[in-house]
Amino acid sequence: MPKVSASSRLLVVVGDPIKHSLSPAMHNAAITALGLDAVYVALRAEATALPHLIRGLEAVGVAGNVTLPHKTAVAQLLIRLTPVAKDLGAVNTFWPEGGRLVGDNTDVPGLLDALDPLDPHGPWLVAGTGGSARAVAAAAREKAVTLLIQSRDPARAAAFAAWARELGTDALVDDGRPVGTAINATPLGLRPDDPLPFSDERLDGCRAALDLVYRPGGTPWVRRLKARGIRAADGRSMLVAQGAYAFERFFPGCRAPREIMAAAVERALKETG
């Protein structure tokens, strides 16, 4: 933990629930390593509290992160958004500028960083149509790859594909064509008895996969993929990368110590496991 004094700067992560969040462990490890006078804490806030909370944080210049289920609601409360946050209508990071809070979505560069070492050829196939699937659509736009969408509900897949095309992504409902990369953007894998997000047959020929889910001991899907010789990683790499980009918004001019943040995540996961 950082040494806290009356001059320490406060950083927060806002969500509901929030007890499971690894962000305080990750950011406080980085703050301590760089000898910064700051402390990062978790705030549980219900949706009805957000307007007052955001105005209060703004009044005293507090920066922070936003997590489920508030990424969209907080985007609507901020005075200015970066282009990617505006495109997605969701923020996971905010900080004060000129007395007002500005929002960004570091999930997108975090996702791109997590995908990069996997050499993620297109087309990409994503499972899920929620908030993190939107970040996948923005990442696919950035990489100029075709994105296929799998959902439990065909109408939701079609609506998501239409939204992603508006964004500028070459997106369509999964039509079964061979894919280069698969991404799990559902909560499947959080529980050990969950089904896998994709059938083995659907991923025949697929060479890379990213599971956004992480849990102590790794996820069953990543273990299965690796056993099949597919390059695969779970959500820890994205968690650390999005956190590193957020840290660099909080402390401009500082380089986030990613290895220290990753080690803190490992420790915190072991403690919760």
Q: How far is the CB of 153 from ligand NDP (least distance, A)?
A: 6
Residues in the chain: 273
Given the rule CB under 6 A, which residues bind ligand NDP?
A: 68, 107, 128-133, 151-153, 156, 185-188, 190, 212-214, 235, 238-239, 242
Q: How far is the CB of 13 from ligand NDP (least distance, A)?
A: 12
Across 203-213, b (16+ Cβ under 10 Å) vs e yields beebbbbbbbb
Which residues neighbour 221 within 8 Å (Cβ) at sequence distance 6 or greater?
184, 188, 189, 196, 197, 198, 209, 211, 213, 232
How far is residue 110's CA from residue 129's CA, in Å, rounded to a whole number?
18
Catalytic: 143?
no
Q: Which is nearer to ligand NDP, 38 or 126 (CB)?
A: 126
Q: How far is the CB of 110 from ligand NDP (least distance, A)?
A: 6
Cα four-point dihedral sign 14, 20, 21, 24: positive
Catalytic residue among 71, 86, 143, 226: 71
Q: How far is the CB of 28 from ligand NDP (least distance, A)?
A: 18
Instruction: Supply 230's token pair.
Output: 């597919």
How far is residue 209's CA from residue 119's CA, in Å, rounded to a whole number?
10
Q: Which is nearer to ligand NDP, 115 or 185 (CB)?
A: 185
Q: Which is nearer to ligand NDP, 28 or 184 (CB)?
A: 184
- Residue nearest ligand NDP, CB atom distance: 130
- Contact (Cβ atoms closer than 8 angstroms) between residue 48 and residue 73: no
Q: Which is nearer to ligand NDP, 54 or 246 (CB)?
A: 246
What residues act catalytically? 71
